[in-house]
Amino acid sequence: MNKRIYKFFGVLVMSLSVTVVSAQLTSGNRNRAVDTPRDNVFEEIHTEFKKPVPYPPLRQADVMYKKRIWQKIDFREKMNQPFYFPIDAHLGWKSFMSTILDALRAGELTAYDDRVDDEFTTPLTYRELEARLKGVADSIDQFDQSGRFLGKKITYPDEYQEGEVKILKLKEVWYFDKQRSQMMVRILGLGPVREFIDSETQEKREETLFWIYFPEARPILAKALVFNRKNSGARLTYDDVFWKRLFDSYVYKEENVYDREISQYAIGMDALLESNRVKNEIFELEQSLWEY
């Protein structure tokens, strides 16, 4: 008798749960159809739950060779334009800088002060970062048509504007893993560089806004879509772009005893040749370790 009662209650609970779930699905579909139509042919659910590809394990004993270099990604180059566009977010697409600023505003990322060093030693609060993006305040006297003084208006002539970041610095470590017999690379930091016209000198200036620790940013970048020129169905994220090296860049510094950039001892074509020399040196080192 007790077994029959238990079975009856079990069937009752299962039927109620199925009814509730079906009612929720029906109401959800109804709300979606009434509120906003789906602007696609399917539900995009994978990117929301996407996680970055984990790094392979690495021991110090396996690193036979290591070199630290700094590179720049110029968003104006055709291959790098998906970093820059769209300037105004739409249809779920956001530029790289909008993705980073939104994460900083939400407290999901930490910005580090570039004016101290690029070793992630001095974190910035969002309030400090916001003040830095506004720049130095300036006051303008205001008068009416009769020439009567009305007061002062506070302006920020060098305030950061959308689209001013056109260069991204990369700080990365190249190393040869003898366990895998492969030259590999890991990005340590990202530093957006702003280009603007100085209100005082009226000359073009470049300013690194802050540094981001890349391993901390990877979970956020893994959910931020990047436009795929060849196939919109194959969704790419910013983490995929960095992981697969789908960008063009040039070296502006390698670790050296003087701690100086290439621009401090070479200019013009000489600087370009020096940048290529650093890249080729890493490539040729890996090739020279093999016998064919």
- Residue by residue, DSSP assigns 208-273 as E--EEEHHHHHHHHTTSEE--SS-TTS-EEHHHHHHTT-S--EEEEE--TT---GGGT--THHHHH
pLDDT digits (tens, 9 = 90+) for 209-250: 999 999 999 999 999 999 888 888 888 999 999 999 999 999
Q: Is the pTM of this model over 0.85?
A: no
What's the Rg (C-alpha) of the chain? 27
- pLDDT band per the 50, 70, 90 thresholds, residue 80: very high
**What residue ranges do the domains of the chain occupy?**
61-288
Q: Do 168 and 73 form a contact (C-beta atoms < 8 A)? A: yes
pLDDT digits (tens, 9 = 90+) for 128-146: 999 999 988 887 777 778 8
Give 191's strand partners: 169
